[in-house]
Amino acid sequence: MSKNPRFPPKPRTVLIVLFPGFQIIDAAGPIGAFEVASRFVPGAYAIRTAASAAGLVSSSSGIAMPAEALTGRAKVDTFIVVGGGGTGKAMRDDPALVRAIKNAPKRARRVASVCSGAFLLAQAGLLDGKRATTHWRRAPQLAQMFPDVQVEADCIHIKDGAVWTSAGVTAGIDLALAMIAEDLGEDVAADVAREMVVYAKRPGGQAQHSALLELDGGARFTQLNAWMREHLHEDLSVERLAAHVAMSPRNFARAYAAETGVTPAKAVERLRTETARTLLAQGGAIQEIARCTGFGDPERMRRAFVRLYGAPPAAMRRTLRRA
């Protein structure tokens, strides 16, 4: 247990917002994290659940959770909208829910979403002009439906001002831990993570999943992707990659993007950055890592880390050491 926990003057109210067909882990994960935090800092949080109508709300698994009516204007600290298979129906058929979310900034210090709950925040206009994330499978759809939202599919969670969004399912725990760290300090968040047997901050930074696994969704180039991973220190220009698969550079670039969803250059950057991140965790020197992963110089690697993970290699190394 933390030696010097802070005792807030009154509990911070966390309101978990549900709808029929919600994903139960999206709700249970954050609820569990805030509940455990209150063991280490008694009175830290008061957790409530709410929906557009009071009563039992069925999750996608069939298990129901009780909820109060989401009609009050009483102040709360944290307003978290969960996701799940019922998100689309809620967007179409529950205008009261969307209105309540739209008005959430008036009653809450911060507003957040877990997984596809980001669609409800976007529907309510809360993500306009902001950086946001969601489950990586749903990210292209979020970007297409809401072009004013800067969707970043590689992140576990993003904070943009008073609005937080997080990736799929268990990322709701990561979101809650980040909030607990902000409220009560990194030590308390680490205590909570240890109690829950999860990482306080996931090793490897903020990527949702393996770059190679994602690229292997394009079976046509599976062997090429594996070869790229083994030759990151070499020239991996479009011309070199095209020659490796006996295609013209133009046809290769078009076919690769159609098959994998990213350009060859973006794929190479992801593979290099993911490998560099692993080497950072092993304690390698930044300059040597930049050289052996093909970045060439630390500044080029730093820019790639900031683009993909929102933090430079030096900060990432500190995160990895704490994990």
226 and 140 co-located in one domain: no
Average pLDDT over residues 109-113: 98
Kindly report the CATH number assigned to the domain that includes residue 24. Answer: 3.40.50.880
Domain boundary among 196, 223, 246: 196
User: What's the domain range around 266?
Assistant: 211-322
Per the structure, how many domains does the chain have? Answer: 2
Query: Which one is predicted more confidently, 321 or 69?
Result: 69
Task: Kindly tell me if the per-residue pLDDT of 168 is higher than 60.
Answer: yes
Q: Strands 150-151 and 108-114: what pairing?
A: unpaired
CA dist 202 → 22, 25, 52, 242, 251 (Å)? 25, 18, 34, 35, 38
Residue 321: the pLDDT is: 55
Average pLDDT over residues 105-114: 97
Please state, for a pLDDT cut of 70, what percent of the chain lies above it: 88
Domain boundary among 196, 221, 241: 196
Average pLDDT over residues 79-98: 97
127 and 232 co-located in one domain: no
**Mean of the per-residue pLDDT values for the chain?**
88
Assess if residue 203 is contained within a domain: no
Domain boundary among 196, 221, 248: 196
Query: Which one is predicted more confidently, 5 or 180?
Result: 180
Assess if residue 239 is contained within a domain: yes
Task: Kindly tell me if the per-residue pLDDT of 4 is higher than 60.
Answer: no
Rg of the chain over Cα atoms, rounded to whole angstroms, equals 21
169 and 60 co-located in one domain: yes
Task: Kindly tell me if the per-residue pLDDT of 130 is higher than 90.
Answer: yes
Please indicate, yes or no, whether the overall pTM of this predicted structure exceeds 0.85.
Answer: no
The most confident of 38-47, 195-204, 256-265, 306-315, by mean pLDDT: 38-47
191 and 262 co-located in one domain: no
Task: Kindly tell me if the per-residue pLDDT of 71 is higher than 90.
Answer: no
The answer to whether the beta carbons of residues 228 and 236 sit under 8 Å apart is: yes
| Residue pLDDT, tens place only, 233-247 | 999 999 999 999 999
